[in-house]
Structures are given as C-alpha cells and as structure tokens.
C-alpha cells in the first residue's frame, strides 16, 4: 500500500512505551548538510570538531561523493551519542531521519513507507492518528526538506557525469561546502573567492553570520563548479587578469 502526503497513519512515541528509544540504537543515520549544521550549532562546537567527534565520512562504489554517517557510541547497544535516559538531548535539532520516523521517503516515486512494524515500534499501536502532511509540519520537517531539495539537485546530477570519478580536490570541495560550514566560511572570506565572484554586499553580510544562508550559497557554488550552471558571475577584473 502506497503512502502519500494525504495518507493517514497511527503513531505516538512516549516514555511509557517499552520500546522507548529502541530506534536510537544500532542504526545507521545518514546526516544531511542541514542536519550537520543544526546539530553542530546545538552542541556549540565548530564544524571540524563536530565532524571528528560525531561522524564518519563514507564513499561507496556506486556514489563517488562523500556522505556523512552519525557515529554511534562504542557500547553494547551501539546507541546514539545524543541519547540519554530521558530521550534525545538535542531533540529540537535532531536529524531529518529522526523527524521522519516511523516514515521514510522513496525519492524515485515521491511516496512514503513505514520503515518498521508494530512488533518493533509499539508507537504504531497507539491511537493518535496523523495525516502525513500534518506530521511533517508537526515535526518541523519543512525547512529540512527545503535544504535537502537543494542538496539533492547536486547529488542526483552525479549520474550525468558518466564514469568520470571526481578527483580528490573535487571531493574535498564538496565535503567542505556541504558539511564543514565553518571552514567553507573561512574559504569564502579569507581566500581570493570574493575577488573572483560578484557577490552583492547584502548577501555577503548574510553569509558572514548566517549558517543556513551560507549553506544555500554553498549549494549554488557547487552547482556552478560541478554542474556548470551559470548562476554566479565572475568579476570583469578577474576575467581580464586571466586573459593576460
């Protein structure tokens, strides 16, 4: 049975359930760039420190650009590093996949599915009924989906590259821009970047202090560099210098 935005499902999670926090253990949680941004700001550390302490980067044979996986604790349960006896310690800034639970999205046909059954998640036996669209709003998924769509525009275009595997500099650029937002800010403001590209003063000030705005700008730059979109203007002075 397909699940759409207007389908209904029953679910409620609370401490009274015997399975409470079971879904936070021994699970692979892939983090989106917006996930990493929200989580690193919640923990109050720089991107470098967050990535080193809480994540690991993976590159698969079928996908040559790196993805980031949340690093579970090295304990018997392989539990989430943000899990406490009372639940999630960063609940307001939890990742997209945790907000979606118990649903997942099939990107190819734009439909949804339940990823667990009632034997695993007792919350599915609770009486609270949701419409999928209302669930998204209740769980704060709308801003996540906005940034995820911008990210997916880039990663979904990888198939158009054919068999060409990006070199290390491209992979490093992609990783920095998507996941290491503090390092990317340093790259924009402390390199020759702003001498090369036209960036209006209003945008320049926004990306100097606003991480989501900087991430959005980073996606735009990746589309320029990786996909060849003409969405950024190179300064006339830089073009003249290149000709010389």
Report whether pLDDT(109) > 80.
no
pLDDT at residue number 64: 76
For the whole model, what pTM was predicted? 0.92
Task: Give the Cα separation of 30 and 43 in Å (integer).
Answer: 18
* CB-based contacts of 133, cutoff 8 Å, min separation 6: 5, 6
pLDDT band at 87 (very low <50, low <70, confident <90, very high): very high
| Domain identity same for 184 and 139 | no
pLDDT band at 242 (very low <50, low <70, confident <90, very high): low
| Domain identity same for 18 and 122 | yes
Is 212 a member of any domain? yes
Q: How far is CA 5 from CA 10, 95, 136, 182, 218, in A?
A: 14, 20, 9, 35, 30
Q: What is the pLDDT of residues 65-86, one digit of tens each?
A: 889 999 999 988 999 999 998 9
Containing structural domain, residue 17: 9-145
Is 1 a member of any domain? no
| Domain identity same for 179 and 140 | no
> Where do we find the tokens 């609770």?
126
Is 77 a member of any domain? yes
| Domain identity same for 116 and 74 | yes
Tokens matching residue 102: 């118990």
| Domain identity same for 175 and 56 | no
| Domain identity same for 207 and 95 | no
Q: Which of 122, 145, 168 marks a domain boundary?
A: 145
């Amino acid at each position: 049975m397909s699940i759409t935005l207007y389908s209904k499902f029953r679910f409620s999670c609370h401490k009274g359930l015997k399975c409470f926090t079971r879904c936070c253990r021994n699970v692979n949680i892939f983090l989106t760039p917006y996930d990493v941004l929200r989580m690193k700001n919640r923990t109050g550390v720089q991107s470098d420190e967050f990535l080193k302490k809480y994540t690991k980067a993976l590159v698969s044979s079928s996908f040559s650009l790196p993805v980031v996986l949340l690093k579970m604790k090295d304990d018997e349960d392989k539990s989430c590093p943000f899990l406490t006896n009372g639940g999630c310690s960063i609940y307001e800034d939890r990742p997209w996949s945790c907000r979606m639970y118990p649903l997942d999205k099939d990107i190819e046909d734009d439909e949804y599915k339940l990823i667990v059954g009632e034997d695993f998640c007792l919350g599915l036996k609770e009486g609270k009924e949701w419409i999928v669209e209302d669930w998204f709003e209740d769980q704060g998924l709308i801003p996540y989906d906005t940034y995820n769509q911008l990210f997916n525009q880039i990663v979904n275009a990888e198939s158009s590259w054919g068999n060409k595997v990006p070199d290390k500099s491209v992979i490093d650029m992609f990783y920095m821009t998507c996941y290491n937002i503090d390092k990317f800010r340093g790259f924009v403001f402390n390199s020759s970047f702003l001498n090369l590209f036209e960036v209006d003063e209003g945008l320049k000030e926004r990306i100097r202090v606003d991480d989501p705005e900087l991430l959005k700008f980073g996606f735009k730059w990746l589309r320029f560099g990786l996909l060849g979109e003409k969405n950024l203007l190179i300064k006339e002075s830089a073009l003249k210098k290149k000709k010389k």
